Structure 1
Amino acid sequence: MSNILIINAHHYYSFSKGELNAALAARAVEVLESRGHATRLVVVDEPWDANEQVQNHLWADVILVQTPVNWMDVPWTFKKYMDDVYTAGMGGELCNGDGRSSKAPALGYGTGGSLHGKKYMLSLTFNAPKQAFNNPREYLFQGKSVDDLFFPLHMNFRFFAMEGMETFVCYDVMKNPTTESDLVRFVAHLEQNFEPCLT
């Protein structure tokens, strides 16, 4: 059995109520538990305790972040979650500082992570269409990929010595939603990345 922490990072707005992210998080619970994994679901918009969330990270073999993309980043409420939880875990639970020593302060930044052997997965919902990425002719992203855009979030997990899994993306969710096919693709993505647990 693997332990999977699923974080629904959506923040409620009247124009974005979070149904898709909630549906994806719920589908992840359903699919992963049907394959023999244990799950815990955290909803960032609901009350949470930083120390308890540190323990959730220690419990988990994989952290699945389910988040919308707000202004090219995660919602501010999830940034607050990261600031509070990850600061609470800097005493050795998630990392031992930044990995440097006073003897060589210019070397080894970011190598103090304590979560060796653990993995993470990003599952993102975008208003942007798929064609906006990996295309140097497109204005905004200038040929960059989704993972290029989310390099800072990848580095947050790398700071804890975690290994990334393949990112999942739902594109164009406001102007051209394809929710049913997105959910089908998501199930296939989970089944490809999480083997059934032997009983």
Structure 2
Amino acid sequence: MSNVLIINAHQKYPFSEGKLNQTLVDKASKWLGENGHQVRVVTMSDSFDVEQEIANHQWADTIILQSPVNWMGVPWLFKKYMDEVYTAGMAGQLCAGDGRTSAEPIANYGTGGTLTGKNYMLSLTFNAPAQAFEDPAEYLFEGKSVDDLFFPMHMNFRFFGMQALTTFASFDVMKNPQIEQDLARFEAHLAAQFK
């Protein structure tokens, strides 16, 4: 039915081996395969070839970014991946410049993406409880959503011309984990996004 690239952005730490993120990757890979999709997986803990990763992005109809949230963003190994792969992809494979022209040097910034017609989905794991988001009375996020927090990541994919699918999040995964419920929600989420 479609080609799906899953990026496991987890980076191992002594307090976080990455079991949940790997379980979500395995669940997505199995479910997608059973439902007729072709799947490729890249993991940040493994070495990667820049040209192959560009080719993976071109091959994919949808990219799933599976990532823990470390210090309000993605782990640094995935940032390194972006710096290497996405910068190399600026040569026309992922985008043809930033969309501006010498005739229009101000307008159309961010419209040079060559991955139009493709989608991406963020799947995130948080130590934060769900209540920390979207409740203005909560101190840290002041009523902002998960997608507000990950606005820069959305812009990275949009820069390449991609469209967002609905974000999935698992919350409170260290202090109050609800793994079985999260896995059931994740499978239902996949079914809704990949009809």
TM-score by length of 1: 0.97
**Gap runs ≥5 in structure 1:** none
Give 1:1-199 correspondences, 5 Å limit. Answer: 1-195=1-195
Is the partner of 2:78 in helix, strand or coil?
Answer: helix
Distance 1:38 1:44 in 2: 20
Quick check: 100-109 or 57-66, which moved more? 100-109
CA deviation vs aligned residue, 1:98-117 (integer Å, no higher than 9, x gap): 11112221111101000010
Aligned-partner residue type, residue 40 of structure 2: R
Is the partner of 2:16 in helix, strand or coil?
Answer: coil
Aligned-partner residue type, residue 170 of structure 2: C
Structure with larger RCO (C-alpha < 8 A, sep 6+): 1
CA deviation vs aligned residue, 1:72-104 (integer Å, no higher than 9, x gap): 000000011011000111111100011111222
The runs of 4+ residues in structure 1 deviating greater than 2 Å are: none
C-alpha RMSD of the superposition: 0.6
Is the partner of 1:84 in helix, strand or coil?
Answer: helix
Distance 2:31 2:52 in 1: 25
TM-score by length of 2: 0.99
Instruction: Give the percent of matched residue pairs that are identical in Structure 1 and Structure 2.
Output: 62
Distance 1:154 1:144 in 2: 15
Is the partner of 1:169 in helix, strand or coil?
Answer: strand
Distance 2:66 2:137 in 1: 29
Count of matched residue pairs = 195
Distance 1:81 1:91 in 2: 16
Distance 1:164 1:63 in 2: 10
Distance 1:103 1:190 in 2: 43
Displacement of 1:192 in angstroms is 1.1
**Gap runs ≥5 in structure 2:** none
Displacement of 1:47 in angstroms is 0.6
CA deviation vs aligned residue, 1:14-61 (integer Å, no higher than 9, x gap): 100000000000000000000000000111110101111000000000
